[in-house]
Structure 1
């Protein structure tokens, strides 16, 4: 029960209003430590309730502030606009019975309007690193009184090249008392480096090992001959699988637009989401998907983080993601909060090695699936070793190291008889042999 946590009564009232009863494992592990003011580094699978795990302790720190609102007290950094907008909604939901105000700073919105909002000084500021730095450089953002920083999806921020931006923003908060870092993957050396720079003697909480991520999702691969064949498989899946909502992931904006165009031509209710879309279109696409106005979203990895849509039970990787962490975040869109989902990856010849490396990273083996109606010729790399007899080789003695040497059998070439006429290269009469010239003295 959430009542077991030492949360302010106004926050517990909001929790009850939202019908939160039992905390998830990540909430049960992180909230008590966060309430003690500890720095945290938390790894937990997507859809496990990480947002509430940091929002509630953060709000609890601010709820009893008596002084007039003149400084930003909490900063939440996130990699994408969509995740930032979703986090703002969560903060507003949990703070509905308090006087805490939150603000949002992301790209794609009017810079001057954001500056005006900053002059009102929200208690909690939520944003993406790039636009926050722009406001900081313009003199509109002051962070010296920030008490708590949250880095959500920190590994993704590193993948997107925000490492220096995040570090600078953290350095702009010299008086912070607590830093919490959350992600769905363990990340690599870059993340460990960031942890060493921004966290002080953190408590490490790993709620899921990599091999346990997305346990509620069936993971399948289907081999394909080429992109056109992949498109046929996508059409078959959308027509024959049982799903409420689906996402098709591509690695490029061009391919996302191409697939979206084919779906619309076949009267599917679909939207496309990628970096070339302006903020208005991106908001519309996500809202339509959430409300059921569209059943299918075609997207690049801009949608792989922070997209929480009820009823999303089918993910199709048209292109295999470029890393194991990105794969985890893509398929994490389905099978959330204990529900079941299906993730299907389409594999051509050039995708096989990448797929195998992701299997090794996850310590899992994906289910191989064949659809007879759209079966192609490619079925994975062939491992055929020719026998010695078939290859026309014979064994020879071993070398000094004991390795066997093999040589191919060859028919001996016949040596011409001394007086035999030579055949001409043009197939005409045989040439006569000439007597050798006398040696020079």
Structure 2
């Protein structure tokens, strides 16, 4: 199928796509849309930036248009892990439904609870929200799911990582059993994801478009070795000054480091925004809006933004701290090189993170490009010796020491206790056996103890 018209979508949706200059479906859209239109439950795994959002929005909107039910409660619920991703999904719904009367509302934390409740009472066809805030509305009696026709779990692997498993299962249990459920993720998600899929899906079609190892070939992946945090900060400043990019995101592992780095990088000529979970909703929204409209070119963020950023022109990702897993690495660098674009991902690697980097490299079955910035060349240039798996090989001295320490700390053979007499000299003979008469020992005579009185 080469065009959206071939997918038999509603003409109003095709018109909106044409106006948006979107004419050819991506592989995930070509695979998922026909199955969703046929009414199947879906479990879809496709890499970040492959067009997953439109893959579930188009069949969802088509179904709502085909079967109009104006006097009902909410007909579709879309669950997402972060506010930013929910906001972007709402904008895509509004863009695709511009020639329809379908209404959607956003239900996330950080916004006025009473205003959200009032909007929900208007019975919008689509609710887009995060699990935590939706549970709050459910307990307040504002969330009605009795008429729900479609449940979408987007970035479901991330929702489980963030601890929303129980909330997701609770919301799904309140939906009608005859609903259609569409589950989308960028990674398989392990056993936890399998359990959720087993509970919420009915005879699903499983579409594996990509694995985490199938990264976008247009993303150039590099590593630069560093000595310490100060060396990292100087390298980031150098990269932002010398790399060719339109917009950049720098990822840290902690909020404290994000705030510190934002202060270090901010200069009169370089505007930098910081985004993490402790930021107020207004500040988070402002950061995203300024990044999108070009008012700010650099964003320092924790992983809260790894699943919530879709910005055109974002072509540089820097891992100030190495992510803790291969899946998180995929989601971070997936912010660049989206839908055919090109980008660069640079990871700064100190000695204590070399083995972590090697594990991620091995997990993805890819070799990262080693790069040296001559102007800021550090002392650490990688381990002297490497194992076959790319990790640092310990020295022979350390191995011998460990081996010796192991022997010392092991179980020692039991030794027979030696009495002091034994140690002092030769063993003495036993004392003489007492004389016996007829088998009875000789009775010793005792002295008269005196009168009892």
Query: Which range, TM-score by smaller chain?
Result: 0.7 to 0.9
Q: From the superposition, tell whether residues 67 and 310 of structure 1 become closer, same or farther in structure 2 (CA, over 3 Å).
A: closer
Instruction: Tell me the residue number matched to 1:277.
Output: 279
Instruction: Tell me the residue number matched to 1:432.
Output: none
Q: From the superposition, tell whether residues 164 and 241 of structure 1 become closer, same or farther in structure 2 (CA, over 3 Å).
A: same
| 1:296 is the counterpart of 2:298 | yes
CA-based RMSD of the aligned residues comes to 2.1
Contact conserved, 2:157 with 2:193, CA < 8 A, in 1?
yes
Q: Cα distance, 1:176 vs. partner?
A: 4.0
Q: What's the secondary structure of 1:276's corresponding residue?
A: coil
Instruction: Tell me the residue number matched to 1:347.
Output: 349
| 1:268 is the counterpart of 2:281 | no
Instruction: Tell me the residue number matched to 2:150.
Output: 148
Q: What's the secondary structure of 2:266's corresponding residue?
A: helix
Between structure 1 and structure 2, the one with the greater Rg is 2
Aligned pairs for 1:326-341 (under 5 A) are: 326-341=328-343
1: CA distance, partners of 2:86 / 2:153: 11
Instruction: Tell me the residue number matched to 1:376.
Output: 378
Deviations 1:178-210 (A, max 9, x none): 111111112211111111111112111111122
2: CA distance, partners of 1:79 / 1:373: 41
Instruction: Tell me the residue number matched to 1:183.
Output: 185
Instruction: Tell me the residue number matched to 1:236.
Output: 238
Instruction: Tell me the residue number matched to 1:226.
Output: 228
2: CA distance, partners of 1:161 / 1:169: 14
Instruction: Tell me the residue number matched to 1:413.
Output: none
Q: From the superposition, tell whether residues 238 and 387 of structure 1 become closer, same or farther in structure 2 (CA, over 3 Å).
A: closer
Contact conserved, 2:16 with 2:98, CA < 8 A, in 1?
yes
1: CA distance, partners of 2:78 / 2:68: 22
Q: From the superposition, tell whether residues 66 and 202 of structure 1 become closer, same or farther in structure 2 (CA, over 3 Å).
A: closer
Gaps of 5+ in 1: 393-438
1: CA distance, partners of 2:256 / 2:204: 42
2: CA distance, partners of 1:20 / 1:47: 15
Q: TM-score scaled to structure 2, two decimals?
A: 0.84
Instruction: Tell me the residue number matched to 1:196.
Output: 198
Q: What's the secondary structure of 2:345's corresponding residue?
A: strand
Q: What's the secondary structure of 2:36's corresponding residue?
A: helix
Q: What's the secondary structure of 2:279's corresponding residue?
A: coil
Q: Cα distance, 1:385 vs. partner?
A: 8.0
Q: Cα distance, 1:301 vs. partner?
A: 0.7
Deviations 1:116-167 (A, max 9, x none): 1111111011000000000001111011211111100000000000011101
List structure 1 runs of 4+ shifted beyond 6 angstroms.
Answer: 384-388
Contact conserved, 1:247 with 1:296, CA < 8 A, in 2?
yes
1: CA distance, partners of 2:218 / 2:71: 44
Q: From the superposition, tell whether residues 223 and 71 of structure 1 become closer, same or farther in structure 2 (CA, over 3 Å).
A: same
Q: TM-score scaled to structure 1, two decimals?
A: 0.86
1: CA distance, partners of 2:91 / 2:368: 36
Number of equivalenced pairs: 394
Contact conserved, 2:72 with 2:147, CA < 8 A, in 1?
no
Q: From the superposition, tell whether residues 381 and 286 of structure 1 become closer, same or farther in structure 2 (CA, over 3 Å).
A: same
Contact conserved, 1:44 with 1:50, CA < 8 A, in 2?
yes
2:140 to 138, 141, 161: 138
Q: What's the secondary structure of 1:358's corresponding residue?
A: helix
1: CA distance, partners of 2:134 / 2:232: 40
Q: Cα distance, 1:247 vs. partner?
A: 0.5
2: CA distance, partners of 1:11 / 1:147: 19
Q: From the superposition, tell whether residues 198 and 291 of structure 1 become closer, same or farther in structure 2 (CA, over 3 Å).
A: same
1: CA distance, partners of 2:44 / 2:394: 47
Instruction: Tell me the residue number matched to 2:316.
Output: 314
1: CA distance, partners of 2:151 / 2:19: 27
Instruction: Tell me the residue number matched to 1:424.
Output: none
Q: What's the secondary structure of 1:211's corresponding residue?
A: coil
2: CA distance, partners of 1:385 / 1:179: 51
2: CA distance, partners of 1:57 / 1:8: 9
Q: What's the secondary structure of 1:212's corresponding residue?
A: coil
Contact conserved, 1:69 with 1:123, CA < 8 A, in 2?
no
Gaps of 5+ in 2: 386-392, 401-425, 429-453
Aligned pairs for 1:22-171 (under 5 A) are: 22-171=24-173
Contact conserved, 1:146 with 1:175, CA < 8 A, in 2?
no
